[in-house]
Amino acid sequence: MSSRPPELFPLFAELETLEGVGPKTAKLLEHLHVFKPRDLVFTLPYTGVDRALRPTVLGLDYPCVATVEVEVIKHHEARARGRPTRVQVEDSGTSFELVFFHARGDYLRKILPEGARRVVSGKLEMFDNIIQMTHPDHILEPHEAADLPSFEPVYPLTAGVSQKVMYKATRAALGRLPEVAEWADAEQIRQAGWPSWGEAAQAAHSPKGFADLASTAPARERLAYDEFFAHQVTLALARMTRRKGKGRVSEGSGKLRARVLASLPFEPTGAQRRAIGEIAEDMARPARMNRLLQGDVGAGKTLVALMALLVAVEAGGQGVMMAPTEILARQHLAGLQPLAAAAGVRLELLTGRDKGRARAEKLAALANGEIAILVGTHAVFQKDVEFADLRLAIVDEQHRFGVRQRLELGKKGVSADVLVMTATPIPRSLALAQYGDMDVSVLDEKPAGRQPIKTALVSTQRMDEVIDHLKGAVAEGKQAYWVCPLVDESESVDLAAAEERFKALRARLGDGRVGLVHGQMPPEEKDAAMAAFQSGELSVLVATTVIEVGVDVPNATIMVIERAESFGLSQLHQLRGRVGRGTGASTCLLMYRAPLNEGGERRLTTLRDTDDGFRIAEVDLEMRGAGDLIGTAQSGVPKFRVADMESQTGLMKVAQSDARKLLNEDPKLESPRGKAVRVLVWLMEQDQAIRLISVG
C-alpha cells in the first residue's frame, strides 16, 4: 500500500503533460488549487450556458445568450478611432448587428464574408432599439456547428485562464481517467441510481442542462459521495487503529462517585446519567476510549468530567484535564475542587506559571501517584511531566486540537482513554467530518433550576435608557457584564472603545463599582478583576470577549452586548451563557446599530427566539460555511472539492456507516472491494489513511 497504484499515474503527472497546457498556464492554474490532472477532474463547472441552436433571436428576453444561424448582409466599418465595426446579419425572423471593437476589417471580412451563412453564439442586448451581439463567443461555419455543445459548461477561472483553456484542459484530464474497480457498495449504487466513478466524472463535466449542475444530480452526488467515503474510511481506520491500540481496563468500584452524588444539592439530568454510563462502559473495555462529549452552555459537563476522572482513580490510576487557557483551567479547578473534596481525592493545578520548587514538588507528587487528578494547560505536555499511572485524559474546547494532537496526547499515558469536551454545540455534518473517528455523547438537557434567559434587541440610540436600567439593577445588588464590540482587527482600537465605555459607566454608576478586563492585560490583573467581580466587590464588568469561555458568576444576571451585530452567532450564544447560572431571572440585551443588514438581523433574531445551542449552530453553519465556523487554519476540517458538508449531511452519514461496516468486515482492505477502496484512498489523497493501512 505504500506506493501509488500505477493506474493512477497519468492523473498524478505534471500538468504540462496535458495537451494545450504549457508552463505558464500550469503556473496560473495553481491559483485554482489545480496542481495535477487529478485536480482538474475534480474542478467542476459551476454553471452553464444554453447554446442550443434557435431559428431566430426575435422575441427573446434580452440580455441573454443565444445561438442562431445567420446570413451575413453588410459590413459597416468604423469611421472614427474608438468606434466599433458593425456587421449586419439576418436570421429566419429578423436582422441584427454583430459589434466588434478594435477589430481589423480585413480579418472580419475573411471570417464573415458578405453573403455567407454562419452560426453565431454570444450575448444579445438591445441597444437603441437595435438587437446587438458584441464580440460573439463563437463564429462557426454551419457544418462545424455540431461541435458546439448545446449546453456549455462554465468553469471557475483565474486571471490569464479563459473558459476555452479550462475546457480544453479538463477534456485532456478526462482523457486520462483509468479503468478502476468499483469501491462503492453495490446496493447503495443501485438504490441511488448512480453511474460508475468514471461515468460520473465525464457526465459532471458535460452537463446537458441546469438540472445536471445541482448537487442532487446523480453524477455530482456520486462524486460527492466518493469524497465523503474516502474521508470517512480515513476516520474509520483511525478509530479502528486506536481501538486495536491496547487500552487499559479501568473499572471503578463506584465508591468515590457515590460520595460525590450524595453531596450534590440536585439530581443529575437524564442526559448526564447517560453520558456518565457511556464513558464508564468505554473505560471498562480493553480497547482505548476515544469519545467526544458535547453539551450546550450550562448543560453540566463538569460533573460528567469529574465522574469520568473518578472512574480512573477508583481503578487505581490518575486522570488529567486539559484546558486551552489558564483562566479556563482555573475555572475547571474551581468547579471540580468541591466535588473532588467530597470524594476525598487530591486535585492539583499545573500551568506555565508554576516555577521552581513549587513545580518540582507537584511533579514529584504526580510521579509517585499522590496527586490523583491534575488540571492544567498545555504545560502538561512538557517532557518532565510524568504520571504514576495515567488512565484518562480529558481535553477541553476541542477546536484548538486537531486529530494529530489527540494522538499525541495518548502518548503520555501509554494507553490512556481520551475524552474530548466541547461547549460549542457542533452541527451534525461538522461532527461527522471532524470527529467521525470518535464516539459521541451529547448533553442535550439543561439541569433543573437553570433560569431561562430573556433576550431582547435594543438599538444603540437607547443607550441612556439601558444605562439607567442598569443603575437601578445595580442598586438592587444585581451584577452585570457589559461586552464591548470588536470594532476592528486592531486590538488597540478595540481597547480604546472598551476604556471609553468603562469611563462612561464609572461616571454614571460610581467609581468603585465598575471593572474592566481586556486581552492585553497581564494575566494577574485580569484574574484580579475577574475575582473582584466574582466576589461581588464589582457590580459591572466591562469586557472585550475574553469572558467568552470564562468565569462562573452565579449572581450575574444581566448581559449587555454592545454592537451585537458584529459578533458571530455561536459567540453570542456563548456570551449569553455567562448569565443565568444562578437562581435569579436573567436578561441579555443585544444592542445593535441601526439599520441592521440581513445577516445581522438573522443572527440576532435567531438568538432572541431560541436558546437551543444545536439549532443556533445549524443556523451559524448555514450562514457562514464550515471553514469560518471553526477557523479553518487549525480546524482539521477537510476541504472537499465537490461535496458540500452543509447541504449533504445525509450523504456523509451514509458514507460513515458504509466505511465503518466495510472495515468491520474487511479490516485490512484485502477483499476485492477493499482493494478498490485502497485505490480510492490514493485518488483522494487521504495520506493519513495510506499511512494507517501501510502500518496496519
Q: What would the mean pLDDT of 370-389 be, rounded to a whole number? A: 84
Residue 687, pLDDT above cutoff 70: no
What is the average pLDDT score of the chain?
A: 83
Out of 119-133, 382-396, 545-559, 651-665, which region has the weakest mean confidence (pLDDT)?
545-559
Q: Is 650 helix (H, G, I), strand (E, B) or coil?
A: helix
Of these ranges, 491-495, 641-645, 666-670, the one predicted with the greatest mean pLDDT is 666-670
520 and 477 together in one domain: yes
d(CA 339, CA 263): 8
What are the pLDDT digits (tens) for 648-662? 888 988 998 899 899
Collect all residues with Cβ–Cβ distance below 8 Å to 31 and sequence separation of at least 6: 158, 159
Which residue from 149, 137, 155, 135 is spatially nearest to 51, judged by alpha carbons? Answer: 149
Q: Where is average pLDDT lowest: 359-373, 440-454, 486-500, 512-526?
A: 486-500
Last residue of a domain, one of 93, 114, 148: 148
The predicted pLDDT at position 299 comes to 73
Other beta carbons within 10 Å of 635: 19
Residue 613 has pLDDT above 60, yes or no: yes
Q: Residues 606, 608, 611, 613: what is their CA dihedral angle, to the nearest 10 degrees?
A: 30
Quick one: pLDDT band at residue 16, thresholds 50, 70, 90?
confident
Q: How many domains does the chain have?
A: 4
Task: Please report, for the domain that includes residue 308, its CATH number.
Answer: 3.40.50.300
Q: Hey, CA dihedral for 250, 254, 260, 264, is it positive or negative?
A: positive
Q: Which has the minimum average pLDDT: 398-402, 468-472, 518-522?
A: 398-402
Cβ atoms of 579 and 602 within 8 Å: the answer is: no
What per-residue confidence (pLDDT) applies to 101? 87
Residue 288 and residue 371 in one domain: yes
- Quick one: what percent of the chain has pLDDT higher than 70? 87
Going by the DSSP 8-state scheme, the letter that residue 352 receives in this structure is: T
| pLDDT of amino acid 695 | 45
pLDDT tens per residue across span 132-146: 998 998 898 888 888
Domain boundary among 595, 610, 625: 610
Asked if the structure places residue 326 within a domain, the reply is yes
Per-position b or e across 180-199, b if 16+ CB within 10 A of its CB: beebbbeeeeeeeebbebee
Query: How would residue 400 be classed by pLDDT, with cut points 50, 70 and 90?
Result: low
**Cβ–Cβ under 8 Å, residues 491 and 570:** no
Q: What percent of the chain has pLDDT over 90?
A: 24
Q: What is the pLDDT of residues 208-264, one digit of tens each?
A: 888 998 888 999 999 999 999 998 888 888 777 766 666 788 888 888 999 988 988
pLDDT in tens, 499-546: 888 888 888 887 778 888 877 777 778 778 887 888 888 888 888 765
Residue 227 domain-assigned (yes or no): no
The Cβ-side half-sphere exposure at 288, using a 13 Å CA radius, reads: 29
Residues 329 and 300 in one domain: yes
The total of other beta-carbon atoms located within 10 Å of residue 536's CB is: 12
Pairing of strands 85-90, 130-134: unpaired
Residue 101 lies in a domain: yes
Beta-strand relationship, 373-376 and 390-396? unpaired
Residue ending a domain, among 610, 644, 673, is 610
In angstroms, the CA 16 to CA 4 distance is: 20
In a domain, 337, yes or no: yes
Residue 338 clears pLDDT 70, i.e. is over it = yes
Same domain flag for 532 and 421: no
C-alpha cell at 4: 501509488
**Range of lowest pLDDT (244-248, 297-301, 339-343):** 244-248
User: Based on the domain organization, do 98 and 190 belong to the same domain?
Assistant: no
What's the residue count for the chain? 696
Cβ–Cβ < 8 Å for 644, 223? no
Looking at the structure, do residues 438 and 475 belong to the same domain, yes or no? Answer: no
Query: Which structural domain range is residue 207 located in?
Result: 6-48+157-214
Q: Same structural domain for residues 330 and 208? A: no
State residue 59's pLDDT score: 82
- How much is the average pLDDT of 105-112? 86
Q: Taking Cα atoms as reference points, which of 581, 304, 605, 596 lies closest to residue 444?
A: 304
What integer pLDDT is reported at residue 18 of this predicted model? 87
Write out pLDDT tens, residues 547-567. Answer: 644 566 778 888 999 888 888
The Cα 5–Cα 11 span in angstroms is 11
Higher pLDDT, 402 or 503: 503
**Do residue 197 and residue 299 come from a single domain?**
no
> What is the mean predicted confidence (pLDDT) over 570-577?
82
Cell of 680: 480510492
Domain membership of residue 99 (yes or no) is yes
Look at residue 1 and tell me whether its pLDDT is greater than 60: no
Mean pLDDT over 477-495 rounds to 70
* 89 located within any domain: yes
pLDDT at position 634: 36
Same domain, 302 and 420: yes
Strand partners, 345: none
Asked, for residue 616, whether it belongs to a domain, the answer is no
pLDDT of residue 414: 58
Task: Note the pLDDT of residue 633.
Answer: 34
- The side-by-side arrangement of strands in the sheet containing 556-561 is 453-459, 586-592, 556-561, 479-483, 540-543, 514-517
In this prediction, residue 694 carries a pLDDT of 54
Residue 197 in contact with residue 186, Cβ under 8 Å?
Answer: no
The answer to the question of residue 1 being in a domain is: no
Q: Look at residue 630 in the predicted model and tell me its pLDDT.
A: 40
**Both 439 and 533 in a single domain?**
no
Same domain, 165 and 108: no
Residues 296, 378 within the same domain: yes
Across the range 187-192, mean pLDDT stands at 92
pLDDT at 218: 93
